[in-house]
Structure 1
Amino acid sequence: MLLTLTDVEVAYGAVTALRGVSLEVAEGEIVTLLGANGAGKTTTLRTISGLLRPRAGEVRLDGCSLSTIPAHDLVARGVSHVPEGRRVFPSMSVRENLLMGAYRDRRHARADLDRVLALFPRLGERIGQAGGTLSGGEQQMLAIGRALMSRPRLVLLDEPSMGLAPMIVRTIFEVIAEINRNGVAVLLVEQNATSALRIARRGYVLETGRVVLADTAAGLLADDRVRQAYLGEDVTTAPPDTTAPPDTTAPPDTTTHAPSS
């Protein structure tokens, strides 16, 4: 297993954010984390990438504990984190932002830059433009592209579609699927549950810092709790029962009704 979290607890001071979270991500699969705001999804990603340290439990990559590994050293181990809000360098050009993703190893920077620009042609059109002047969708492309410059085995994506137009959202999810087809595992936090589950293999649902559901993506799509809470479907109204025979004991209604005006 590429990534394993076992009974992870994380606290912000006296406030416990994660309560015994356990999950797995295998080589080359997409796993999605679903949950309402404040459920602990971002905290989970920040704990995996070393920005937060668990109070209890363990995070393992390739079976090795990450408890003492500094966050910046995880990049060399194949973990890239695309945070919520993109966090591009606003005064640096698109090229400079992308090359920052390869700061640990520049040997393949030229080839990796070409690969990212092939995934995101729009970035190539704006290669000399300052990151802060890009649209929200373009900044999200830039943040993902920067993460790919380190040749990761696992990409942590936090709300990549937030605030984006539907056409850009489709592009982002197509790129996530393409990244995965190239062998990169993805742990995806996403409010757009339908789109996330359509490309994921498995998923977990977090509520108040606990994993309350874990299933295949197809299983979660079919689960009434997920459909009602995260897919916006009303599953509370049961369809009429058409199996019972009609009641023929009552006489037909022979009342004459006046035509409506």
Structure 2
Amino acid sequence: MSTTTELQKETGGPVAVPLLELRGLRVAYGAIEALKGIDLTVGEGEIVALLGGNGAGKTTTLRTVSGMLSPRQGEVRLRGERIDGIKSHELVDFGIGHVPEGRRVFARMSVRENLEMGAYRFKGVDSADMDRVYTLFPRLAERRSQLAGTLSGGEQQMLAIGRALMSRPELLLLDEPSMGLAPLIVEQIFVIIREINEQGTTVLLVEQNATQALGLAQRGYVLETGSVAVSGPAQDLLADPRIRAAYLGEVAA
């Protein structure tokens, strides 16, 4: 299990106590091994970016953390407690919120009903939680009675994030929040992700847009075919010629 000292070695400076730890994590789809023994740590209060090409294992990592997949080997720990093997709907009570790739809003429900679904673990909907989401996403407040399926892609992404926030997560897993969105909307989404983090929510961010992700995160991991190829402070990764060549279209020296 990682220690704060080990995490300091990764970041090059003081960090908070580790919140999420993956150790020797192996996950397979039948005979195909998607994760090949990865180690990953997210400190409390951090934004950590998880980068990599298609098929690298990024979504598999998030799905394993949130209990949608079971590891073949290794551990997932939250605040030092093993959570691998716990069902995904139960992990919501542990403080994990998951915004899946593709948004997956309830198309035939209104915006408000979608948000209410996010609070299902509570006996009722707290108006303060709803107000927080509407403050973060004023557009959702304007469309609270509109069917989710009629929203634009950017609005659906806002709704998917807002729905996850209704469960009051300590750790928010975001899978490709910029996918298919116009650049202006992407900028807005990333500003809000930073604000959510500043309000006290730790974020593990899967993102194809390396520039945006590393500009937002404190640290990053790069996956290649199920293994961690590179990790370190976000600014170091952004300056790494290998990363710039692979994700920013530049020619490596």
| Shorter-chain TM-score above 0.5 | yes
Q: CA deviation at 1:191?
A: 0.5
> Which of 171, 186, 190 is the matching residue for 1:154?
171
Q: What does the per-residue CA deviation read over 1:22-76, in whole Å, with 9 as the maximum and x for residues that have no partner? A: 1000111000000000000000000000000000000000111112311101111
- CA–CA distance in 2 between the matches of 1:235 and 1:25? 29
The structure whose Rg is larger is: 1
- CA–CA distance in 1 between the matches of 2:125 and 2:215? 33
> Which of 33, 37, 41 is the matching residue for 1:16?
33
Q: CA deviation at 1:232?
A: 1.7
Which 4+ residue blocks in structure 1 deviate beyond 3 angstroms? none
- CA–CA distance in 2 between the matches of 1:48 and 1:21? 12
- CA–CA distance in 2 between the matches of 1:180 and 1:233? 30
CA contact (8 A) 1:30 1:188 kept: yes
> Which of 148, 158, 173 is the matching residue for 1:131?
148
Q: 1:52-71 counterparts in 2 under 5 A?
A: 52-71=69-88
The aligned counterpart of 1:216 is 233
> Which of 13, 17, 20 is the matching residue for 1:3?
20
Q: Report the identity percentage.
A: 67
Give 1 or 2: higher helix fraction. Answer: 2
Structure 2 unaligned residues grouped into runs of 5+? 1-17
The aligned counterpart of 1:258 is none
The aligned counterpart of 1:29 is 46
SS at match of 1:2: strand
> Which of 162, 180, 187 is the matching residue for 2:204?
187
> Which of 92, 98, 104 is the matching residue for 2:115?
98
CA contact (8 A) 2:65 2:84 kept: no
Q: CA deviation at 1:106?
A: 4.2
Q: CA deviation at 1:235?
A: 2.9
TM-score, normalised to structure 2, is 0.92
Structure 1 unaligned residues grouped into runs of 5+? 237-261
- CA–CA distance in 1 between the matches of 2:52 and 2:205? 12
The aligned counterpart of 1:85 is 102
My pick for the range that moved more, 227-236 or 12-21, is 227-236
TM-score, normalised to structure 1, is 0.89
- CA–CA distance in 2 between the matches of 1:108 and 1:92? 16
Q: CA deviation at 1:186?
A: 0.3
Q: How many residue pairs get matched?
A: 236
The aligned counterpart of 2:183 is 166
Q: CA deviation at 1:108?
A: 5.5
RMSD over aligned Cα atoms: 0.8
